[in-house]
Amino acid sequence: MASTRLYLDWNATSPLHPAAREAVLRALDMFGNPNSVHGEGRAVRAAIEAARRQVAKLAAADPAHVILTSGATEAANMVLTPDFRMGRTPLAVGHLYYSAIEHPAVREGGRFPKDKTSEIAVTSAGVVDLDALRGLLEAHDKTSGLPMVAIMLVNNETGIVQPVREAAEIVHAHGGLLVVDAVQAAGRIALDINELGADFLIVSSHKIGGPKGAGALISRGEVLMPRPLIHGGGQEKGHRSGTENSLAVIGFGAAAEVALAEFETRNAMVLALRDRLESGMRAAAPDVIIHGADGQRAANTTFFTLPGLKAETGQIAFDLEGVALSAGSACSSGKVGESHVLTAMGNDPKLGALRISLGFSTTAEDIDRAIAAFAKIAARRKPAGEAA
């Protein structure tokens, strides 16, 4: 096993960016409650509002439309609700439609009862089937309330970019609301809430180099908003009560700022590394299947199947070689199960797949080490048809 570990699981979480670390360290000395009116409280409030502006800029949004949360899961549970209000007037949302490849935080349906949720099919290419979406919305019972549609911008397993702009046109033509999970998109593809046509965006701190424990629900406006999930002191304009996690929020803001500043150079570098990785993988094992390779993907993600190698076996084998990667989503209490994304794409989920994801500190030497580990594991796998 290599003497040093190689981290290639950036879609699960990103190492803390040095700029975010510095911001958090500075914030440790800012102990005031941001909701207090004295000088100590105002200093923390000013830092939080600066972070809010940084997060808003990452999505080309209005800072006034950024609600700070404990993470993307809380943001999803907040916005996925039948209970909305337009100003002070209650507004019902009758049904939630989500794509078959959504993250579990969305697939659970938030505050919708199960019988008020439906799945939108995806194509074999791993892209949301817009005709299926259109058919579901045409059949929607308008008397039950508005339809809500949840479609992620970048899939967390495959890295495939979804046709959100086109979906937004369909959703709005049917009077619906569009919620977009942009967790894997932020910092990796251009993000503009208005250009996308999303009514709500969900983003997360620890996916872009910030600390865990912070995220945001970003809205396109302030008139139409969900009923609060957490009640209490009325923080975040009454949308999310509870004293803000100032350390995590300030680190989040710093990470968002640097992700935007380094956007072009970082993504060009990561794309070149991913191409190097996939070329090396194909050379070592020509039968490797790289899911979504022919479509539009975020630059940092490779989701692959090695015939004859189970996902859990492969993950352990790479770990023993000192390489950290994942078998799909890493957000299910450490479980390695069948990929619902592979299933939705029409693949046999028992094939399994592994995900390598890169980030701002990945190097060419890292990629060469990963290729060497891949080649070793591929060479000793069982022949196709035998148990791995």
By residue range, what is the domain housing residue 302?
A: 6-16+262-379
Average predicted confidence (pLDDT) for the chain: 94
For the chain, the C-alpha Rg in angstroms (whole number) is 21
Structural domain count of the chain: 2
Q: Is 331 a catalytic residue?
A: yes
Q: What is the pLDDT of residues 103-124, one digit of tens each?
A: 999 999 999 999 999 999 999 9
> Do 199 and 250 belong together in one domain?
yes
Give residue 270's Cα distance to chain centre.
18
Query: Would 33 be classed as within a structural domain?
Result: yes
Structure tokens of 363?
A: 């190097």
Give the mean pLDDT of 302-311: 93
**Tell me, what's the pLDDT at 328?**
59
Which residue type does 282 have? R
**Among residues 80, 203, 250, 331, which one is catalytic?**
331
Q: What is the pLDDT of residues 311-333, one digit of tens each?
A: 889 999 999 999 999 985 444 44
CA distance 253 to 107: 28
> Do 295 and 247 belong together in one domain?
no
At which of 261, 277, 304 does a domain end?
261
Query: Would 387 be classed as within a structural domain?
Result: no
Q: Could you tell me the pTM of the whole model?
A: 0.94
> Do 232 and 312 belong together in one domain?
no
User: Could you tell me the CATH number of the domain that includes residue 273?
Assistant: 3.90.1150.10
